[in-house]
Structure 1
Amino acid sequence: MASPKQIILPIVVLVGAVAAAVGFSAMKKPPKEKEEIDTRPIVAIEVIEPVSYTHNVNSYGVVTGKYETELVAQVSGEVLYISDAFVRGGFVRKGDVLAKVDPIDYEASLIEAQASVANAQSALIQEKAQGKVAEREWARITNGTPTELSLRKPQLAQELARLKSAQAKLKRAKRNFERTVIRAPYDALIEGRNIGLGSFVNSGTPLGKIISVETAEIRLPVADKELRFLSNQGQNAEVQINTQLAGETRSWQGKIIRSEGVVDKNSRMTYLVAQIIDPYGLNSQQAPLKFGSYVTANIVGDNAGQVSIIPRHLVDEGKVALLGENRLLKLAPVTILRESGSNAIISTGLNAGDKLITSSLEYPLEGMELALPEDNQNKSQDEDLELDTQLAEKQ
């Protein structure tokens, strides 16, 4: 039979264990409520502002002279004179004397030709007078019809032919005499000279090369897809020419004067020709645009009206992401008028005030909720305010 001690001891242990469990349970803090996490993607936006846009077509080329002339001797002889300006890099005006060939033989030929003309004129006058005498004598002797030989008409025609021949020789002699002086045919830059003082030249001997400085031309390649942005294939379009001069970017204004009318078989480009007036600034104060310079060109095209210009990487399958009402994603279809560099020119699909999303979205879905950076900032400010309030209540 169990003793009272054996009966009471288990009861005491059981009651103590229950009491300890209740005590520990009372000491345990209630679980904190999980903080609500905002999973909305945060995006950056840019407000659309349409602008008036004029198409520009970019190109490049090398500056050349409109005319390049290889001067050659047209008479033979010794070079007696060379102008100081007739050197590589020299500038000459139209009509300036560049060189002279010994004119003595040609001057003598000119004098002989002049004498021949005078003799022919004298012979012709005498023959006309003899013809009149023959006509009067024939009328006095007989009433018959005289022959042309009787009236000395063949002799008159012969003298007239001799006069014309002498006049032709005189013109040739004058021309050859004038050709002993080599003159610039236009305002020019001397590219090279092939003769020296005392040189003997024959007809056809190269004397030098000159380039016209009145106008410069630049061949500008343009892709076929770009031509549609130029009125009348670019004819008469304004063009801005840019290049580096003495370490600075300089610009000149020109005009497209013609299209070469064919597609280059190698580059598949159409070439437009731009013209620059007075490239070396001889008649103005503009900086010289040197021949041989590599330049870039900006051709002014058509006006496209009001368009929106956005980074082209934001267009995905013809749509752009917009921030719609209530912070919901909106995918708007757009029409790309043209891509220019890193930008896309949008003609339709965007309106003034639209909020374009400029940050990337991993999985964009129409209607998904979005957040702006200021939303998180406002939330942080609210939490800080709530914490300050709790601390104030405890104090």
Structure 2
Amino acid sequence: MSVLRWLLPIMILIASAGGYYVMTQLGDKKEKPPREKNIPSVTITIAREIDHQVTLTSFGEVSSAESTSLSSRVAGVVGPLHPNFVVGGIVNRGEVLFVVEDDDYQAAVIEAEAQLASAKAALIEEKALGDVAARQAKAMSKDKVTSLFLRKPQLLSANARVKSAKAALQRAKRDLENCKILSPFNALVISKSLGAGQFVNRGAQLATLSNVETAEIHLPIAGFDIKHLPAKLQDINVSINAESINGLRAAKVVRNIGIVDSKTRMSGLVVSIEDPYSLLSGEPTLNLGTYATVTLSGKSLEDVFMLRQEALQNSSVWIVNDTNTLEKRSVDVIYQSGEFVYVRGDITDGDKLVITLPDFPQNGMAVNALPSSAQ
């Protein structure tokens, strides 16, 4: 009886397992539906062939085309100064900045004029004596007539004294003119080290002036950008912008520096700006030392395709062909600007260009092409 009590649960478990097996093997078999193939989606844009005007941007500091150290060519006491002859002042070409007292130089001119008059009188006298000697020589034998008798050396000496007196008069007049110190060009006064009543020596440096008739900006240009500029520098249109000015200033490229920087490997162009302080025009003032953004117009690229950087992979792009499969095409990068590249190659107008790719793209991979929201 006790054996039967232990065997009964085991027999029930065996019978249940057998019944489940029979039911699963003999029951109606339903076919499982086939698993759908996962086709990746890609974002595309339509390739369009365009002509693109290259525009280059560079930066530089506005500097004077030339600066000069102003000095006096005469010594003396400084008189009144021009009111704009102060640091930061602007003086015009030819304006008198200050005058050195010229009393002594006026006296020197008078003295030189007197010396010249005396020399001329002596020359006239020597010419007369020479004429007398020539007439006397006619009655004398030729061997007794010498150059000294005819007063030729004396005449040469008198002529030399006249020339020397003329030169002295010219120097005296020049020194008198140099008592007026003029501005050599429209200039910004950078520094000044004199005042009224001060005695200055000849050649002493008194001020520094910067030319404001023209200014320059030295622009660094990357080597791969130089080839996109016109061969003739005068064909490059230039515009200048800076935070300190309200508007744009026009300028022109005047020369290529012709040197590649050994550290940065950059070339250099020099841009010239006429009348930066707008003394003769109503354009925005562009002060020396301003850090400016310069935009230059380059060559026109014909028949190129503009792509985003992410669409380019190792000089290749992917397109979705007519069978909705991926196809790899080779291209050449012609120009790069910001997030865009401009290419030519094995693509045509209207191709479906892939912007976002699946993880492991392959030629012939089936994809679901989705148009870009930017189109």
Partner of 1:227: 226
Deviates more, 1:215-224 or 1:53-62: 53-62
Partner of 1:272: 269
Report the number of matched residues. Answer: 347
Q: Which amino acid aligns with 1:273?
A: V
Partner of 1:4: none
Of 136, 140, 144, the match for 1:142: 140
Report the alpha carbon displacement of residue 338 of structure 1 after superposing the two structures with TM: 2.4
Partner of 1:303: 300
The whole-number CA distance in structure 1 between the counterparts of 2:338 and 2:163 is 72
The whole-number CA distance in structure 1 between the counterparts of 2:242 and 2:29 is 77
Q: Does the residue aligned with 1:55 lie in a helix, a strand or coil?
A: strand
Report the alpha carbon displacement of residue 254 of structure 1 after superposing the two structures with TM: 2.0
Aligned ranges 1:86-105 → 2 under 5 Å: 86-105=85-104
Partner of 1:290: 287
Q: Is structure 2 residue 255 aligned with structure 1 residue 258?
A: yes
Partner of 1:74: 73
- Check conservation: 1:56, 1:301, Cα contact below 8 A: yes
Partner of 1:179: 178
Deviates more, 1:254-263 or 1:120-129: 254-263
- Check conservation: 1:256, 1:274, Cα contact below 8 A: yes
Q: Which amino acid aligns with 1:285?
A: G
The whole-number CA distance in structure 1 between the counterparts of 2:293 and 2:159 is 65
The whole-number CA distance in structure 2 between the counterparts of 1:263 and 1:335 is 26
CA deviation vs aligned residue, 1:152-182 (integer Å, no higher than 9, x gap): 1111111111111111111111111111110
Q: Which amino acid aligns with 2:112?
A: A
Q: What's the RMSD between the two structures over aligned residues?
A: 2.6
The whole-number CA distance in structure 1 between the counterparts of 2:298 and 2:141 is 88
Q: Does the residue aligned with 1:321 lie in a helix, a strand or coil?
A: strand
Q: Is structure 2 residue 340 aligned with structure 1 residue 343?
A: yes
CA deviation vs aligned residue, 1:284-334 (integer Å, no higher than 9, x gap): 221111111112222332222121111122211221121211322222111
Q: Does the residue aligned with 1:43 lie in a helix, a strand or coil?
A: strand
- Check conservation: 1:236, 1:257, Cα contact below 8 A: no
The whole-number CA distance in structure 2 between the counterparts of 1:237 and 1:157 is 64
- Check conservation: 1:235, 1:258, Cα contact below 8 A: no
The whole-number CA distance in structure 2 between the counterparts of 1:198 and 1:153 is 53
Report the alpha carbon displacement of residue 36 of structure 1 after superposing the two structures with TM: 7.2
Report the alpha carbon displacement of residue 70 of structure 1 after superposing the two structures with TM: 0.9
Structure 2 gaps of 5+ residues are 1-19
CA deviation vs aligned residue, 1:239-261 (integer Å, no higher than 9, x gap): 33222125x5x422222212222
Taking structure 1 as the reference length, the TM-score comes to 0.81
Partner of 1:194: 193
Structure 1 gaps of 5+ residues are 1-20, 375-395
- Check conservation: 1:338, 1:344, Cα contact below 8 A: yes
The whole-number CA distance in structure 2 between the counterparts of 1:31 and 1:241 is 78
The whole-number CA distance in structure 2 between the counterparts of 1:115 and 1:265 is 65
- Check conservation: 2:41, 2:358, Cα contact below 8 A: no
Say which structure is richer in helix: 1
The whole-number CA distance in structure 1 between the counterparts of 2:147 and 2:370 is 117
Report the alpha carbon displacement of residue 35 of structure 1 after superposing the two structures with TM: 9.2
Report the alpha carbon displacement of residue 101 of structure 1 after superposing the two structures with TM: 0.9
- Check conservation: 2:91, 2:186, Cα contact below 8 A: yes
Partner of 2:214: 215
Partner of 1:323: 320
Q: Does the residue aligned with 1:363 lie in a helix, a strand or coil?
A: coil
Partner of 2:111: 112
Q: Does the residue aligned with 1:39 lie in a helix, a strand or coil?
A: coil
The whole-number CA distance in structure 2 between the counterparts of 1:363 and 1:295 is 46
The whole-number CA distance in structure 2 between the counterparts of 1:226 and 1:373 is 35
Q: Which amino acid aligns with 1:304?
A: L
- Check conservation: 1:64, 1:291, Cα contact below 8 A: yes
Larger radius of gyration: 1
